[in-house]
């Protein structure tokens, strides 16, 4: 693997391999010395053109646990036109000797531009680009599902037969897109539920069912996993639903809907949560909820990705 | 010249039995003994040695065998195609204050063992660390020496050692192939660079310990 830009082009074997390495990385977190010397002398730059807390510190923790040097580069507030600023920044990082660049950018495709432009020779990890993809989030979601389903026997397994319902702001969600590709590649079936206004156009090619009624989806699909997405108010420049109380009543995971979920099913949220809007406090704090596991697993999965991108001298 | 088999199944079994007796002798019994195999085939050998030890000394605790993955500690990661890691599983009692016997299939440059010693020091502080290998083929690049050796096998550095174990490969033998045969083995089971093959560097990929 040279870059990780999307989950769309990952094969099932690639994905299972990343998750298996992440299992070994997770073991490191249980040891007394939570550090590996693997990326000693390598430099990882966190290049964030967009606000983020958990993704940035998750990548920072992952890189540090692998002994890499971490430079945090917050480009917020830059007013230079996008193409130029990205190029200048990339060339600056190249001159500083970055081996890996973790990039978050409000424009879809910015990481791909970095990877293919020739401006910089480093391995590029997409940490969320516009409304396009967020591959490490999908990988940590798949990792979390696999661990909940198979426990300590998770190594080598895919997600065959697992049914996942993803609910909420599909239109603006890069998490949903990355998860649709990755989870179906791993053998899971994916159902997307949202108000019609929050679906993008051109979804016909997506390998997912589309529904508008959350109650019907819970009863018909009997999902093993319900993934609630954040309503991304900062990206909404139009009225997509009448008001938040109506959204919460019709498409939110409230206490009654949580109680109707099948035993053993899990509730996920990529965070940060809008409690009371897309997810109720009781659902977010219940034993079904994997929200905190997702954060912990994020570090392990990102360690695996950084290892695969930066440690080797070539393809396997 | 074809690959020459140097150890057959019965030879491997005898070597492991002898190594097990030697471990007990040098440790003066089975007290505080932990056997850690280095994946893939070292882990298999460690499980066998653990079974033999339990047969000899019934007082041996049931949870004494584990695996120690050294992938993340290697010094050749950036020179070779990337390897997937394996789980590290320690006995429940840990390794603090124990006598740890590391087990690997072939001892060559010593770099794998160097990585294993680093990995061990991140996991705890053993009282002592010993090394058991099925084959010692020489050509050390570091000051490392095995305490228990199944067979000393003087080789030339362009030769290649193939270790095949029943649990991993469905067949069992140790063989030596000359450099030319080894190159001819590309694509075949045990092609250069695959785990279980210990031999001359593949051109351009750097030395594999």
Residues in B closer than 8 angstroms to A66, CB to CB, are 72
Q: Are the beta carbons of A167 and A143 closer than 8 angstroms?
A: no
Residues in A closer than 8 angstroms to B69, CB to CB, are 24
What pLDDT is recorded for position B204?
38
Alpha helices in A10-117, H assignment, sequence order: 12-28, 54-65, 82-96, 110-116
Q: Are the beta carbons of A66 and A38 closer than 8 angstroms?
A: yes
Nearest chain B alpha carbon to A155: B87
Q: Are the beta carbons of B131 and B146 closer than 8 angstroms?
A: yes
Could you tell me if B125 lies within 8 Å of chain A, comparing CB atoms? no
Q: Are the beta carbons of B132 and B103 closer than 8 angstroms?
A: yes
What is the mean pLDDT, run by run of 10 residues, along chain B of 209 residues? 88 97 94 95 97 91 92 89 88 94 97 96 95 96 97 93 95 88 41 53 39
What pLDDT is recorded for position A44?
96
Please give the residue range of the domain that contains residue B70. 9-155
Nearest chain B alpha carbon to A2: B82
Structural domains of chain A, ranges and CATH numbers in brackets = 12-134+295-310 (3.40.50.1370), 136-290 (3.40.50.1370)
What pLDDT is recorded for position A175?
96
Residue B102 lies in a domain: yes
Residue B125 lies in a domain: yes
* Residue A119: Cβ within 10 Å count: 18
What pLDDT is recorded for position B186?
35
Q: Tell me which residue of A32, A1, A127, A25 sits closest to A73, measured CA to CA.
A: A127
CATH code (residue B33): 3.40.50.2020
Tokens of B119: 């990995």
A122 Cα to chain B: minimum distance (Å): 14
What pLDDT is recorded for position A84?
58
Torsions phi, psi of A91, nearest 5?
-70, -30
What pLDDT is recorded for position B180?
64
Residue B51 lies in a domain: yes
Q: Do B84 and A17 touch (CB under 8 A)?
A: yes
What pLDDT is recorded for position A205?
92
Select the residue of B79, B80, B86 nearest A24 (Cβ to Cβ). B86
Nearest chain A alpha carbon to B96: A32
What pLDDT is recorded for position A142?
98
Torsions phi, psi of B132, nearest 5?
-120, 130
Residue B194 lies in a domain: no
Q: Which regions of chain A are under pLDDT 50?
A: 79-81, 314-316
What pLDDT is recorded for position B72?
94
Count of domains observed in chain B: 1
State the burial class of residue A144 (Cβ atoms within 10 Å of its Cβ: 0-12, 13-18, 19+): buried
Residue B191 lies in a domain: no
Residue B3 lies in a domain: no
Residue B208 lies in a domain: no
What pLDDT is recorded for position B181?
54
What pLDDT is recorded for position B199?
63
Select the residue of A155, A312, A315 nearest B78 (Cβ to Cβ). A312
Q: Do A316 and B80 touch (CB under 8 A)?
A: no
Residue B177 lies in a domain: no
The 3-state secondary structure of chain B reads CCCEEEECHHHHHHHHHHHHHHHHHHHCCCCCEEEEECCCHHHHHHHHHHHHHHHHCCCCCCCCEEECCCHHHCCCCCCCCCCCCCCCECCCCCCCCCEEEEEEEEECCCHHHHHHHHHHHHHCCCCEEEEEEEEECCCCCCCCCCCEEEEECCCCCCCEEEEECHHHHCCCEEEEECHHHHHHCCCCCCCCCCCCEEECCCCCCCCCC
Element (H, E) at A191: strand A189-193
Please tell me whether the interface predicted TM-score (ipTM) of this complex is above 0.95: no
């Amino acid at each position: 693997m040279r870059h990780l830009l999307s989950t769309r082009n990952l094969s099932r074997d690639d994905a299972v391999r990343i998750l298996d390495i992440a299992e070994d990385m997770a073991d490191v977190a249980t040891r007394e010395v939570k550090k590996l010397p693997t990326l000693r002398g390598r430099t990882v730059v966190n290049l964030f053109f967009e606000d983020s807390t958990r993704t940035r510190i998750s990548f920072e923790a992952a890189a540090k646990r692998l002994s890499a040097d971490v430079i945090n580069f917050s480009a917020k507030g830059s007013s230079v036109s996008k193409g130029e600023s990205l190029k200048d920044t990339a060339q600056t990082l190249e001159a500083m000797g970055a081996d890996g660049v973790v990039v978050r950018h409000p424009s879809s495709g910015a990481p791909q531009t970095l990877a293919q432009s020739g401006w910089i020779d480093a391995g590029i990890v997409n940490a969320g680009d516009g409304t396009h993809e967020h591959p490490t989030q999908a990988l940590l979601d798949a990792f979390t599902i696999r661990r909940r389903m198979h426990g300590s026997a998770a190594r080598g397994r895919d997600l065959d037969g697992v049914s996942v319902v993803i609910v909420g702001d599909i239109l603006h969600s890069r998490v949903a897109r990355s998860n649709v590709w990755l989870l179906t590649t791993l053998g899971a079936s994916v159902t997307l539920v949202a108000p019609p206004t929050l679906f993008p156009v051109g979804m016909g090619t997506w390998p997912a069912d589309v529904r508008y009624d959350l109650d019907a989806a819970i009863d018909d699909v009997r999902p093993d996993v319900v993934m609630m997405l954040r309503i991304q108010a900062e990206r909404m420049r139009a009225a997509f639903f009448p008001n938040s109380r109506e959204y919460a009543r019709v498409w939110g995971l409230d206490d009654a809907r949580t109680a109707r979920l099948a035993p053993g099913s899990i509730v996920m949220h990529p965070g940060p949560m809008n409690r009371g809007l897309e997810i109720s406090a009781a659902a977010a704090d219940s034993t079904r909820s994997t929200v905190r596991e997702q954060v912990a697993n994020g570090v392990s999965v990102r360690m695996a990705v950084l290892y695969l991108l930066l440690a080797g001298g070539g393809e396997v | 010249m074809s690959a020459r088999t140097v150890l057959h199944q019965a030879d491997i079994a005898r070597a492991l039995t002898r190594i097990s007796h030697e471990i007990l002798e040098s440790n003066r019994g089975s007290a505080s003994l932990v056997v850690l195999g280095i994946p893939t085939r070292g882990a298999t050998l460690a499980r066998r040695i653990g079974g033999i030890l339990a047969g000899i000394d019934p007082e041996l605790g049931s949870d004494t065998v584990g695996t120690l993955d050294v992938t993340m500690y290697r010094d050749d990661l950036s020179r070779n195609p990337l390897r997937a890691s394996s789980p590290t599983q320690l006995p429940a009692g840990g390794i603090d204050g124990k006598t740890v016997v590391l087990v690997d299939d072939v001892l060559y440059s010593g770099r794998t063992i160097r990585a294993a010693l680093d990995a061990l020091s991140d996991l705890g502080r053993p009282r002592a660390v010993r090394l058991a290998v099925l084959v010692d083929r020489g050509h050390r690049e570091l000051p490392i020496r095995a305490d228990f050796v199944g067979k000393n096998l003087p080789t030339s550095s362009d030769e290649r050692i193939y270790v095949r174990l029943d649990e991993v490969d469905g067949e069992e033998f140790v063989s030596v192939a000359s450099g030319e045969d080894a190159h001819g083995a590309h694509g075949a089971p045990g092609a250069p660079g695959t785990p279980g093959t210990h031999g001359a560097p593949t051109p351009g990929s750097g030395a594999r310990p």
